[in-house]
Structure 1
Amino acid sequence: MMLKAGLWAFAGKGGHQVVNFALVIILARLLTPEAFGIVAAAQVVLVLSQVVVQFGLGAALIQTDRLTRSMERTALTLMLGMALVMAGVIHLATPWLARLMTIPELVEVMPVMLLTFLLSAVTNPGMSLLMRDMRFKLLAAIDVGTFALLHAVIAVGLALAGWSYWAIILATLASTAAKAFIVWYLRPVWPILRMHREEVRGLLGFGSGVFLTQMGFALAQRVDNVVVANAFGAAALGLYSRAFNILDLANSLLGRAFRAVLFAGFSSKRRVGSSSKKAMQPVFLRAHAFAAFLILPISAASIVLAPELVMILLGSQWTQAVPILQVLAIGMYFRLGYKVSQAFNLSEGKVFASAWRSLLYAVLVGVLATSGSRFGLVGVGVGVLMALTIVFTLLTQLSLSVLQMSAIRLFAALSPFAAMGGISGAVAWQLAETMRGAETNGVLVVGVTVVVMAALYLLPLWLLRRLPIIHELLEAARSLRRVMGNRIEEQSN
């Protein structure tokens, strides 16, 4: 079940990111860094507000042992009530926020963004219920369809028409409205006028811990944007956010799919009583090993090929984003790895233990990014990297303590991928520098370097395939291939 769900989750995120990849390339040539900075500033406010509105209620619907229709409606009512209050507060605070972030355009764009925010609140309970039912194939179709057919088309069309930052804002509103309608049609949930105290207490009891955890992570992922906007302005925020978004293409595909599938899967195992500490240890190790196997070569390639990636994807006006991209790329595994640990921790009900770690993460990002801002945007990136390393360590230590497993086992599982990633990255760095010195075309530099890196990374791992962790990953890949084969056969019949 988890394997098939993971397949569809990755398919959905993969399709989304293919479209997003093309959209990044197109919009970077149609819009200015200032336009992206304005959008990023508005998103800082809305992402944090969405966490407040959800209050962990979606996760509570997924994790609870006994789910009733009344509980679903209660969750939606609570979210809508908090969303309306939050929208009013944000509307009143928008002039102050615009001055704080030195982006006056927030005053005109925020009302439209707040409408998007309210639609997201309506969508969340239905999305969570579909995840609980492990209907990731359907979720993938909704995600890819609304993003590709609405968001991308509208954003490019309006950008070509000269609508600047409004192109992204209106495209987001349209795709969010379409997703809200589709999800409600497939999994309708209505508000309830009279809520039961026991259901409210049960939802908020688990949800409050998840809320604190999500708020910590949301703050940590956005407070650096506030630091950049306040210290350097909208153009610098545009550069910083674009560098982050290049890396987020991989993180969105892998991280969100990992978190959603693992949390739903771990929770499902716990509900049916089929999980034990000993049985979950290899599952946890495989998840981390798979994350390392996928993300470490991407991380190394992003560091080595950052100049070419920025030029090819964004264009010459974005060259100042290269060193920021390289610094942030160092932490790609930590960003994905902490999501694996966090999914396990939440499925085990360790919400408040996770909460203080996530809130500490937000504080560390704020403090270290502010300190690093004295050295420019790269200094902000270094501060974020330091905070990311700390939270990865803290969350993984919590998982290991729950599993009663030593850190040495985790290090042993990750070491083959870390070693091969480091070696292939070092060789690729020298190769890329040589080709640049010979004034080789950037696309050719990327192509040759990626091929060499892939060979240097995969061949040694294949030779080491008898190592337990690599053998287990290969077996999982074979199982995945059988699932795909059976699926194709079912469709052909």
Structure 2
Amino acid sequence: MRILLQFAGLVVLARLLSPHDYGLLAIVVVFIGVGEIFRDFGLSSAAVRAPELTSEQGTNLFWINTGIGIVLGGALFAVATPLAAVYGQGEVRPIAQAMAIIFVLNGLATQFRAHLMRGLRFRWLATVDVLAAALALGVAIGGALLGLQYWALVAQQITQALVILLGAVIGARWRPGKPRRDVSVRSFLRFGANLVLSQVVNYGTNNVDTALVGYAYGAAPLGLYNRAYQLVVTPLSQIQSPVTSVAIPILSKIQDDQRRFSAYLVRGQLALGYPISLGLVTIAIAADPVVELMLGQKWLAAVPLLQLFALAGIA
């Protein structure tokens, strides 16, 4: 369902908004993405995989994630003006300042979602994610029809983060208390620090191109680049995210049984790899009609980009 919503958003909003609008948002989103890695600091995964997690430990982790979110939100707000100057796009400043709130919302939501995953409440998580995507898409379409241009996309991002927070708080059945200095979370921080390092490297290799394209060519070419990329990445990420949410708590429970752990991992990779690769080859071959169908004729310049992304996606 969420994949359908993502594609619906691609199809409808691409016809209502311009490459320039998407390019402006992409400039800010690439920096929010790397900030989100530090905002989470690997603590959601650390909480999910921990054999035991006391309420006091969860509380301390909650306040750490929230504090990091507030700091990062303030930092993005502060650097919005120089960021706009670097890219030569004045609209970037108000976009970045508005979207700084996303760090705070996601920081508040992190440990609530971790508690839901530890409880294997995947149906609730999926329901909240679908509801958030649907409401956010409705807000974006409404804003685009009203002529709000890139602000429709900004509103979409903020709405989605807010609904996810509310859904996680309602579903978690857990409330953090006051932080406790006598409760140690050092093991969680050590695990998170190692995870952050690998995530930053991975994110950098996957997103430095977006930052460079926006800097070198401007917002409109970046919009074409971004939409072609999203046509490939959207289905991949929508498959990867729920699979990861299911796999991590299950793998954490069998991590001491190396043979079973490896067998589970290999079977999962093979089961996903073959059908995904076949789908991406099909997209590369039929890139022209795919772009025209999904985005419309004004996006046909994105066809060669889509073909390259599809072939790279197989890897």
Establish whether TM, by shorter chain, passes 0.5.
yes
**Unaligned stretches of 5+ residues in structure 1:** 1-14, 335-493
**Which residue matches 1:74?**
60
Partner of 2:150: 165
| Deviation sequence 1:291-323 (CA, Å, 0-9, x none) | 222211111111101011001111111111111
Identity %: 26
Structure 1 letter corresponding to 2:166: F
Amino acid at match of 2:159: A
Aligned mates of 1:189, 1:38 — CA distance in 2: 38
Matched, 1:300 2:285: no
- Per the alignment, residue 84 of structure 2 pairs with 98
Matches within 5 A, 1:221-236: 221-236=206-221
Question: Does the CA-based 8 Å contact 1:101-1:226 persist in structure 2?
Answer: no
- The answer to whether the 8 A contact 2:17-2:149 is kept is yes
Deviation at 1:280, TM superposition (A): 3.0
CA contact (8 A) 1:125 1:189 kept: no
Deviation at 1:75, TM superposition (A): 0.6
Query: 1:97: Cα distance to partner?
Result: 1.5
Question: What's the counterpart of residue 126 of structure 2?
Answer: 140
1:332 aligned residue: 313
CA contact (8 A) 2:228 2:306 kept: yes
What does residue 251 of structure 1 align with? 236
CA distance in 1, matches of 2:265, 2:168: 31
Partner of 2:302: 321
Match of 1:127 in 2: 113
CA contact (8 A) 1:102 1:234 kept: no
Give the alignment partner of residue 37 of structure 1, picking from 20, 23, 32. 23
Which runs of no fewer than 5 residues in structure 2 stay unpaired?
A: none
Instruction: Map Cα deviations across residues 418-437 of structure 1 (whole Å, 9 max, x no partner).
Output: xxxxxxxxxxxxxxxxxxxx
Q: Does 1:196 align with 2:182?
A: yes
Partner of 1:190, secondary structure, is coil
Determine whether 1:152 maps to 2:137.
yes
- Counterpart position of 1:382: none
Corresponding residue SS for 1:330: helix
Alignment of 1:306-455 (within 5 A): 306-334=287-315
Q: Deviations over 1:117-145 (max 9, x none)?
A: 21011111111221122211111111111
Q: Secondary structure at the match of 2:184?
A: helix
User: Is the Cα contact below 8 Å between 1:243 and 1:324 reproduced in 2?
Assistant: yes
CA drift at 1:181: 1.4
Q: Is the 8 A contact 1:27 1:159 kept in 2?
A: yes
Task: Quickly say closer, same or farther: Cα 1:22–1:58, change in 2 above 3 A.
Answer: same
**TM-score of the two chains, using structure 1 as the length reference:** 0.62
2:272 aligned with 1:287: no
Deviation at 1:191, TM superposition (A): 5.2
Residues 465-486 of structure 1, C-alpha deviations (whole Å, 9 max, x = no match): xxxxxxxxxxxxxxxxxxxxxx
| Amino acid corresponding to residue 217 of structure 1 in structure 2 | N
Q: 1:47 & 1:266 partners in 2: Cα distance?
A: 26
Do the aligned residues in 2 keep the contact of 1:84 with 1:118 (CA within 8 Å)?
yes
Cα RMSD after superposing both structures: 1.5
Determine if contact 1:76/1:191 at 8 Å carries over to the other structure: no
Query: How many pairs align?
Result: 314
- Within 2, Cα distance between the matches of 1:297 and 1:133? 35
CA deviation after TM superposition for structure 1 residue 197, in Å:
5.7
Report the CA distance between 1:227 and its aligned residue: 0.7
Question: Given that residues 24 and 92 in structure 2 are in contact (C-alpha distance below 8 angstroms), is that contact kept between their aligned partners in structure 1?
Answer: yes
Change (3 A) 1:202 1:293: same
Contact kept? 1:296, 1:333, Cα under 8 Å: yes
CA distance in 1, matches of 2:199, 2:166: 25
Runs of 4+ in 1 over 6 A off after TM superposition: none
Q: Distance in 2 between matches of 1:76 and 1:176?
A: 17
Distance 1:174 1:103, change over 3 A: same
CA deviations over 1:316-369 (Å, ceiling 9, x no partner): 1111111111011112232xxxxxxxxxxxxxxxxxxxxxxxxxxxxxxxxxxx
Q: Which has the larger radius of gyration?
A: 1
The AA in structure 2 aligned to 1:156 is I
Query: Do the aligned partners of 2:56 and 2:179 also contact (CA within 8 Å) in 1?
Result: no
Aligned with 2:149: secondary structure? coil
Shift of 1:31: 0.2
Residue 210 of structure 1 pairs with residue 195 of structure 2: yes
Supply the distance in 1 between the matched residues of 2:237 and 2:75 (Cα, whole angstroms): 30
Is 2:4 aligned against 1:18?
Answer: yes
Verify the 8 A CA contact 2:143 2:152 in the aligned structure 1. yes
**Which sits farther off after the overlay, 160-169 or 92-101?**
92-101
Question: What is the CA deviation profile of residues 432-464 of structure 1, one whole-angstrom value per residue up to 9, with x for unaligned ones?
Answer: xxxxxxxxxxxxxxxxxxxxxxxxxxxxxxxxx
Distance in 2 (alpha carbons) for counterparts of 1:281 and 1:105: 49
Residue 226 of structure 2 corresponds to 241
- State whether residues 50 and 117 of structure 1, in contact with CA within 8 Å, keep that contact through their aligned partners in structure 2: yes
**Post-superposition shift, 1:190?**
2.3
Per the TM alignment, residue 179 of structure 1 is displaced from its structure 2 partner at its CA by 1.8
Flag the 1:219–1:196 CA change in 2: closer, same or farther, 3 A. farther
Q: Distance in 1 between matches of 2:177 and 2:159?
A: 23
Aligned partner of 2:37 in structure 1 is 51
Distance 1:292 1:122, change over 3 A: same
